[in-house]
Structure 1
């Protein structure tokens, strides 16, 4: 959607030279942009049978929780290691230089739950892939992954669809890095 895309600012050379950072905070502070974004997701998922929305820390929380509220379903936070107080399961994933882990509460998802995973952006697909694995460890069914921005040149959406057989829905995409 071109209106939403136009409200996402690009910050050159952040966090390092050659990177074009797609900053959604400009979308968040814009009432029209935020409303259109949440509305786009609501229209897509309102009759899908989703039982919970899982949001990846931190920006996935913003859109995931708002969407869960609008759909009348539960919200599941997927957090960085050590941030959840209860019993958790974790999944390691690759970063550009090393690895990291994300976690979910063991009781957050029940067998047969139909889960939508939300994040702001898909780049290489590492975090999104780890989130899918977490949901599957708890016997949940991943319905789809929803993001605002896809960076197709980095291959994350294709990796998720090829390796995990999960469709990635994005509202807009930006070419390049």
Structure 2
């Protein structure tokens, strides 16, 4: 049966998210998106819903920026649908050539994200995409990286948002759109 309504698509996506207790450490309930990737109908539903949201909310988008590593799974599909390019934001030291980077704090230390200097152009209108919004550290750092590149971040897209961790608050005024919330 083909999934047609927005509600049916969201239900299918939620059904494909698999919980794992005590991963990666005791007390953590991990939300696994791998079953979405294995199901073409669920993956299409994710792409459909993101495409619909971006076309309605950010019709001037020029580039989709995917966060390392799961934003790389959903971002190119969305970019292709929208007829725009895709750029990678990676962990420090993973991209060749000149890069720009931003350091940020995590619960357990520090990290850095980077983009190739020519990955995003000044004034370019971008949306950011990742699989999960938890504490918001990586998305916040990526927003800061886009500001350094003088890009215009229209919004952030995530498959899953963990509401109790208040990641959207950390991102601040940048709008966040999530498909499934826990």
Assess same fold via TM > 0.5. Answer: yes
> Unaligned regions of 5+ residues in structure 2, if any?
1-9
Runs of 4 or more consecutive aligned structure 1 residues displaced over 2 Å after TM superposition = none
Q: Report what 2:130 is aligned to.
A: 119
Aligned pair count? 171
Correspondence for 2:3: none
Taking the aligned partners of 2:159 and 2:89, their CA distance within structure 1 comes to: 18
Find the aligned partners of 1:26 and 1:33 in 2 and give their Cα distance. Answer: 9
Which of 62, 69, 81 is equivalent to 2:80?
69
Distance 2:156 2:70 in 1: 14
User: Which structure 1 segments of 5+ residues have no match?
Assistant: none
Aligned residue in 2 for 1:168: 176
* 2:91 counterpart of 1:83: no
Q: TM-score, normalised by structure 2?
A: 0.91
Q: 1:30 aligns with which of 5, 18, 39?
A: 39
| 8 Å Cα contact 1:114/1:141 also seen in 2 | yes
Give distance in 1, aligned partners of 2:111 and 2:136. 13
SS in 2 for 1:46: helix
- TM-score (normalizing by structure 1): 0.94
Show the counterpart of 2:157.
Answer: 146
RMSD over aligned CA atoms reads 0.9
Distance in structure 1 (CA, Å) of the matches to 2:51 and 2:39? 18
Write out per-residue CA displacement over residues 61-97 of structure 1, whole angstroms, 9 at most, x where no aligned residue: 1101110111110101000111110100101111111
